[in-house]
Structure 1
Amino acid sequence: MERFAELLDRLVFTSSRNAKLRLMGAYFRTVGDPDRGHALAALTGVLEFKEAKPGQIRGLVQARVDPVLFEWSYDYVGDLAETTALIWPAKPGANRKPEITQVVETLAETKRAHVPDLIARWLDALEPTERWALLKLITGGLRVGVSERLAKTALSEAFATDLAEIEEVWHGLSPPYRELFAWLEGRQGRPEIDTRAAFRPLMLANPLEDHELDQLDVENYRAEWKWDGIRVQLVAGGGVQRIFSRTGEEITGTFPEIADAMTFDAVLDGELLVVRQGVVASFNDLQQRLNRKTVTKELLRDYPAHVRLYDILFESAEDLRGLTFDDRRARLQAFLERTRPARMDASQLLPAAGMDDLKQLREEARRRGIEGLMLKRKDSTYVAGRPKGPWFKWKRDPLTLDAVLMYAQRGHGKRSSYFSDYTFGTWRPVTERASEEAANKSEVNGWELVPVGKAYFGFTDQELRQLDKWVRDHTVERYGPVRAVDPQLVLEVAFDAVHPSNRHKSGVAMRFPRVSRIRWDKPASEADTLENLEKLVER
């Protein structure tokens, strides 16, 4: 646990991507099996301990220390693992320090009723940083700035192996990845996986910047709408039907109607949407289907799933990724005409003779409720990752409005000491019904604030420090790690779209809200109204 704790501690305080790669690479090269494999699983979010819950940890620490002291400490620190690691009463030499493999294997075999005693014995034996690493491992919330892609990149660089090859076998392997490391170290051949059920890394696009517009040779690119759904890969053949998200997470069970339609032998790339009578619904409708463990008949009826296909990677056993985009599109069209799968169609190629046509299409995107344009070189092969040049995404300009800061919450990881998550609201007239709601709502001259969104990025580190100080100086109520503030500060919020939502009291939901500017100069009374926001709703 000591080496793993050291790795996490250094990663959380390292902002440089290259430095993170070096840290992980050194760990994977010098730590043996199976510890490094379990560490890799933890970093990539694969590990899950169903019998261990954060509530158990809270109960343990409140039994060991004054509950009031713990709550005050947790309120200040803002992170359960860090608070517990620091406040836990030390018992040096009480037990043997566990290694990461012992933790993983023992928790997998232990019933929920016995888990608290097990965790307590480990906490007694460990130093504060090791306790923190243990609790982060158990709860799964590492938050050390490492994505699955970055961890695999570290393996690629540490063992001089092509990243695309690692991606090809990744989803056919499981922790502690003994055969993966044996292959990377040259002790055995590349792992054999069931290719019929394998995820192939997706090709991604780069944002098209303004300075790149004049250099774009429009004749060599094909244009498509950038649909506002989730990117998926459909893998079918030999009686296997699997649906993967863009990160390779399997979501087949969430969309059984799509899986039922996959009676072909191919690997397809597309966008998962909700479509009713040929009309694409908002992303808010799609959210009703995401992350559902149980899919009811009502969900299937009210939010019918559909896949708009972009590309074909394999047809039967034939790998088509080396073909040009134009050739793959021709193969995709022929495939669809021959197989005619239900709930699927091909994304339309848009006519564009020059830059003026592309600009006009982009202007149309908002009126159509579409995110923007995708531009793909006609001669581009299908390459995993995000190569610069072949594919671009040209999103429509964001919407903005001025909102009033209402609540602030502590962040996580490096931000656990700052109030960095901000809930903001807009003004609406006070009604009799509204006046009977929560008494902490702000009311000024017959107007009250109603929350319309939450943002935790878009500002610089310096602005974060300024906002944090402002929150501390203007707090009026405390709710655990949340602060209600005097409604004086105006934030200019940028967002991609706004949709009707029955899940939010305001009746609307923003898409990708972020803080674009802090309006220190603007009085809160001049912030926008809910009515102004409702006018931007895409129906």
Structure 2
Amino acid sequence: MKAFAALLDRLVYTPQRNGKLRLLVDYFRHAPDPDRGWALAALSDGLDLKGAKPALVRALVEERTDPVLFRWSYDYVGDLAETVALIWPERPGANRPPALGEVVEALRAAGRGEVPALLARWLDALDPTERWALLKLITGGLRVGVSARLAKTAVAAFGDRPVEEVEELWHGLAPPYGALFAWLEGRGAKPELGEAAAFRPLMLATPLEESEVEALPFEEYLAEWKWDGIRVQLVARGGETRLFSRTGDDIGGAFPDILEAVDFEATLDGELLVLRDGPEGGEVAPFNDLQQRLNRKTVTAKLLQRHPAHLRLYDILFEGREDLRSLPLLPRRARLEAFVAREKPRRMDLSPLVDFASMSELEALRAAARENGIEGLMLKRKDSPYLAGRPKGPWYKWKRDPLVLDCVLMYAQRGHGKRSSFYSDYTFGAWTPEDELVPVGKAYFGFTDEELKRLDKWVRDHTTERFGPVRAVEPGLVLEVAFDAVQRSTRHKSGLALRFPRVSRIRWDKPAHEADRVETLEALVEG
């Protein structure tokens, strides 16, 4: 546990990507099995320890310390793991400090009633940094600036392999990844996926910058609409069918109507949508309709009927067992068109190509995308193979321009990692016809470090109420917020929410009463 805690502590205070990469590679090189495998699982969101929730941790610490003192401390610090790690009464020599693998395996085997005693014993044996790391691990709060992609990149660098080779195997592996580390160290054979219906890393597009538009050789590209759904991969292999999100999460439980429509063997890339006029055709519904079915383990018959799922196909990776990814885009597109014409897959159709003769035509199509309920355009080189990751140049996404509104700051919350000392997460609102301020969204990026310091000071100077790590503030600061769309929301008092909001400017000059109103947002609701 000591080495893992030291790794997390150093990652928090190492902002540079290459610095984090070096720390991870060094850890994987020196940590023993299975500790390094469990660490990799935790850092790549592959570890779910269901027995230890924040409420359990709070109850446990209130048994060992003054509850009032703990609540005051938590209110000031704003982070549960950090507060408990510092306030937990030390009992030097009470127990042997546990190894990381021992913690994970004990929690996975323990019943819910056994977890408090286990946790208390470990907290007694560890120093404050180790207690913090333990609590971050078991509550799933590892926010140390390491993405799943960076963790896999570090593993690949440790074994001197391309990260794409590791990602190709990733979803056929399971923690603590003993076979993976054996292969990377030359002690074992390369893991095989076999007949598994495994996820294959997606090819992603880079944003097309305005400065690049004029120089782009448009005649070398195909254009498609960028549909407003979620990118998915459908895998039908060996009698098994699975539906994956772009990050490889299995989301098939929420979309049984898609899985039940499969009677072929292939791996397909497409956009998951909801169609308004039925499952086999009709108008694409706003993203909010699709959102009703996301993040569910099961769905009701009512949801299936009201929000029928549909898959709009972009690409074909495997046809049967034949791997098509090395083919250029044009032959792959021809194979996909022939596949759709032959199989006539239910609840699926082919994303049409967009005809254009010049970049000016494309610019006009992009400009009209919003009124047609489309996110923008995709530009794909005709000769591009299907490459994992986000290579620069083969594929571009050219999204519609964002919308902008002036909103009023209502609440601020402490951030995580290097921002844990700052109020950096901002909830903002708009005025109702009754001049009440109601929340419409939350943003935590779009400002510089210097602006963050000034925002943090403003929050501290204008706090009106405290709710743990959250501060309510006077309605006096206007944030110019850029966003993609407005959608209906039952989670917000306003009934509305901004999609993909970010702070584009801080309006220190603008009075709060001049900020935008709910009526303005209502007029922007798509669909």
Q: Same fold (TM over 0.5)?
A: yes
Do the aligned residues in 2 keep the contact of 1:274 with 1:305 (CA within 8 Å)?
yes
TM-score for the superposition, normalised by structure 1: 0.96
For residues 361-412 of structure 1, the C-alpha deviation after alignment (integer angstroms, 9 at most, x for no partner) is: 1011111111111100011000000001000001111000101111112222
For residues 71-112 of structure 1, the C-alpha deviation after alignment (integer angstroms, 9 at most, x for no partner) is: 111111111111100111111110000000100111111111
* Structure 1 residue aligned with 2:443: 455
* Structure 2 residue aligned with 1:435: none
* Structure 2 residue aligned with 1:262: 262
Do the aligned residues in 2 keep the contact of 1:237 with 1:263 (CA within 8 Å)?
no
**For residues 259 and 425 of structure 1, do their structure 2 counterparts lie closer, same or farther at Cα, with a shift above 3 Å needed?**
same
Q: How does 1:263-302 map to 2 (within 5 A)?
A: 263-277=263-277, 278-302=282-306
TM-score for the superposition, normalised by structure 2: 0.98
- Residue 180 of structure 1 aligns to a residue whose secondary structure is helix
How far does residue 62 in structure 1 lie from its aligned partner after superposition?
Answer: 1.0
- Find the aligned partners of 1:18 and 1:429 in 2 and give their Cα distance: 51
- Find the aligned partners of 1:230 and 1:344 in 2 and give their Cα distance: 14
State whether structure 2 residue 455 is matched by structure 1 residue 486: no
Q: How does 1:318-329 map to 2 (within 5 A)?
A: 318-329=322-333
- Find the aligned partners of 1:43 and 1:388 in 2 and give their Cα distance: 26
Q: Could you list the runs of 5+ residues in structure 2 that have no partner in the other structure?
A: none
For residues 187-222 of structure 1, the C-alpha deviation after alignment (integer angstroms, 9 at most, x for no partner) is: 111112234411110000001011111210010001
- Find the aligned partners of 1:521 and 1:476 in 2 and give their Cα distance: 22
* Structure 2 residue aligned with 1:352: 356
Q: How does 1:77-92 map to 2 (within 5 A)?
A: 77-92=77-92
* Structure 2 residue aligned with 1:160: 160
State whether structure 2 residue 141 is matched by structure 1 residue 141: yes
* Structure 2 residue aligned with 1:96: 96
How far does residue 36 in structure 1 lie from its aligned partner after superposition?
Answer: 0.6
- Find the aligned partners of 2:484 and 2:52 in 1 and give their Cα distance: 38
- Find the aligned partners of 2:32 and 2:347 in 1 and give their Cα distance: 48
Do the aligned residues in 1 keep the contact of 2:423 with 2:456 (CA within 8 Å)?
yes
* Structure 1 residue aligned with 2:461: 473
* Structure 1 residue aligned with 2:37: 37
- Find the aligned partners of 2:239 and 2:423 in 1 and give their Cα distance: 51
How far does residue 450 in structure 1 lie from its aligned partner after superposition?
Answer: 1.5
Do the aligned residues in 1 keep the contact of 2:75 with 2:467 (CA within 8 Å)?
no
Do the aligned residues in 2 keep the contact of 1:459 with 1:515 (CA within 8 Å)?
yes
State whether structure 2 residue 491 is matched by structure 1 residue 498: no
* Structure 2 residue aligned with 1:434: none
- Find the aligned partners of 1:494 and 1:230 in 2 and give their Cα distance: 21
Q: How does 1:65-464 map to 2 (within 5 A)?
A: 65-277=65-277, 278-430=282-434, 447-464=435-452
- Find the aligned partners of 2:35 and 2:465 in 1 and give their Cα distance: 46
Do the aligned residues in 2 keep the contact of 1:168 with 1:198 (CA within 8 Å)?
no
Do the aligned residues in 2 keep the contact of 1:309 with 1:345 (CA within 8 Å)?
yes
- Find the aligned partners of 1:395 and 1:77 in 2 and give their Cα distance: 40
For residues 472-504 of structure 1, the C-alpha deviation after alignment (integer angstroms, 9 at most, x for no partner) is: 101112222221111011110110011233443
Do the aligned residues in 1 keep the contact of 2:195 with 2:237 (CA within 8 Å)?
no
Do the aligned residues in 2 keep the contact of 1:196 with 1:236 (CA within 8 Å)?
no
Do the aligned residues in 1 keep the contact of 2:489 with 2:497 (CA within 8 Å)?
yes
* Structure 2 residue aligned with 1:60: 60
- Find the aligned partners of 2:198 and 2:468 in 1 and give their Cα distance: 45
Do the aligned residues in 1 keep the contact of 2:159 with 2:184 (CA within 8 Å)?
yes
How far does residue 245 in structure 1 lie from its aligned partner after superposition?
Answer: 0.7
- Residue 436 of structure 2 aligns to a residue whose secondary structure is strand
- Find the aligned partners of 1:53 and 1:194 in 2 and give their Cα distance: 36
Do the aligned residues in 2 keep the contact of 1:305 with 1:343 (CA within 8 Å)?
yes
Do the aligned residues in 2 keep the contact of 1:324 with 1:380 (CA within 8 Å)?
yes
- Find the aligned partners of 2:410 and 2:345 in 1 and give their Cα distance: 49
- Find the aligned partners of 1:66 and 1:196 in 2 and give their Cα distance: 53
How far does residue 237 in structure 1 lie from its aligned partner after superposition?
Answer: 2.3
- Residue 314 of structure 1 aligns to a residue whose secondary structure is strand
- Find the aligned partners of 2:110 and 2:202 in 1 and give their Cα distance: 38
Q: Which amino acid aligns with 1:116?
A: P
- Find the aligned partners of 1:477 and 1:253 in 2 and give their Cα distance: 41
Q: Which amino acid aligns with 2:230?
A: I
For residues 308-362 of structure 1, the C-alpha deviation after alignment (integer angstroms, 9 at most, x for no partner) is: 1100000011110111111111100100111111111111100111110110110
- Residue 197 of structure 1 aligns to a residue whose secondary structure is coil
- Find the aligned partners of 1:166 and 1:406 in 2 and give their Cα distance: 44
State whether structure 2 residue 50 is matched by structure 1 residue 46: no
- Residue 381 of structure 1 aligns to a residue whose secondary structure is coil
How far does residue 413 in structure 1 lie from its aligned partner after superposition?
Answer: 2.3
How far does residue 505 in structure 1 lie from its aligned partner after superposition?
Answer: 2.2
- Find the aligned partners of 1:168 and 1:483 in 2 and give their Cα distance: 44
CA-based RMSD of the aligned residues comes to 1.0
Q: Which amino acid aligns with 2:337?
A: Q
- Residue identity over aligned pairs, in percent, reads 69
Do the aligned residues in 1 keep the contact of 2:158 with 2:184 (CA within 8 Å)?
no
- Find the aligned partners of 1:478 and 1:163 in 2 and give their Cα distance: 45
Do the aligned residues in 1 keep the contact of 2:325 with 2:386 (CA within 8 Å)?
yes
Do the aligned residues in 1 keep the contact of 2:183 with 2:189 (CA within 8 Å)?
yes
How far does residue 448 in structure 1 lie from its aligned partner after superposition?
Answer: 1.8
Q: Which amino acid aligns with 1:405?
A: L
* Structure 2 residue aligned with 1:433: none
Do the aligned residues in 2 keep the contact of 1:423 with 1:451 (CA within 8 Å)?
yes
How far does residue 458 in structure 1 lie from its aligned partner after superposition?
Answer: 1.0
* Structure 1 residue aligned with 2:26: 26
Mean alpha-carbon deviation: is it higher for 500-509 or for 452-461?
A: 500-509
- Residue 421 of structure 1 aligns to a residue whose secondary structure is strand
Q: Which amino acid aligns with 2:216?
A: L
* Structure 2 residue aligned with 1:2: 2
How far does residue 145 in structure 1 lie from its aligned partner after superposition?
Answer: 1.0
Q: Which amino acid aligns with 1:523?
A: P
Do the aligned residues in 2 keep the contact of 1:196 with 1:235 (CA within 8 Å)?
no
- Residue 310 of structure 2 aligns to a residue whose secondary structure is strand
- Find the aligned partners of 1:501 and 1:86 in 2 and give their Cα distance: 39
